[in-house]
């Protein structure tokens, strides 16, 4: 099973940005965590991060027929990007949306997600573990 993990804008700044919200661990340790979890589940994982909306859309387009699932934390683009939603719809790859924080208990503008209009599962407020749960979700889905 091949899973693409996409982290969007400002996710490369975790560890530095608002540590009281996003924690003290950096993006590199997030990638190590994801790779370790994927390995234990026998999943082949690719991690991608970009601060550019168009680059994220291109990565999704190129994933067409190449990945069994996408895990995406689009950062602030979650709340603004019809383009990322359309890219996900175009490739029809099963998608899990992840957020480090509980976006539903934060500012009102964070409570709407364009990604949620396509994602089949949404995991919020669990920090790094959310990505692990998303991997587990894909692995359980095909385990019968």
Give all strands of the β-sheet with 2-9 in edge-to-edge order: 44-49, 2-9, 69-75, 95-99, 121-124
Stretch that binds ligand DQA, among 26-34, 54-62, 68-76, 87-95 (CB under 6 A): 68-76
- Shortest distance, CB of residue 85 to ligand DQA, whole angstroms? 15
User: Scanning residues 74 to 103, which ones bind ligand DQA (CB under 6 A)?
Assistant: 75-76, 78, 99-101, 103
User: 118 an active-site residue?
Assistant: no
Residue 135 makes CB contacts below 8 A (sequence gap 6+) with: 3, 34, 37, 38, 41, 43, 45, 71
Distances (CA, A) of 33 to 78, 97, 108, 131, 132: 23, 17, 30, 9, 8
Asked if 13 touches ligand DQA (CB under 6 A), the answer is no
State the catalytic residue, choosing from 22, 77, 118, 131: 22
The nearer residue to ligand DQA, 43 or 103, going by C-beta atoms, is: 103
User: 79 an active-site residue?
Assistant: no
The nearer residue to ligand DQA, 51 or 68, going by C-beta atoms, is: 51
State the catalytic residue, choosing from 67, 77, 99, 118: 99
Asked if 30 touches ligand DQA (CB under 6 A), the answer is no
Chain residues that interact with ligand DQA, rule: CB under 6 A: 10, 73, 75-76, 78, 99-101, 103, 110
Catalytic residues: 22, 99
């Amino acid at each position: 099973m091949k899973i693409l993990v996409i982290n969007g804008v400002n996710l490369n700044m975790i560890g530095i940005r608002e540590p009281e919200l996003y924690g003290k661990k950096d993006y590199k340790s997030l990638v190590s965590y994801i790779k370790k979890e994927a390995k234990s589940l026998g999943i082949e994982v690719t991690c991608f991060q970009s601060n550019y909306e168009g680059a994220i859309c291109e990565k999704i387009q190129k994933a067409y027929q190449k990945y069994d699932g996408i895990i995406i934390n689009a950062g602030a683009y979650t709340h603004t990007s019809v383009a990322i939603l359309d890219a996900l719809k175009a490739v029809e790859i099963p998608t899990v949306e992840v957020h480090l924080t509980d976006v539903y208990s934060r500012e009102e503008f964070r409570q709407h997600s364009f990604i949620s209009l396509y994602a089949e599962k949404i995991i919020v407020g669990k920090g790094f573990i959310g990505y692990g749960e998303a991997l587990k979700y894909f692995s359980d889905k095909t385990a019968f």
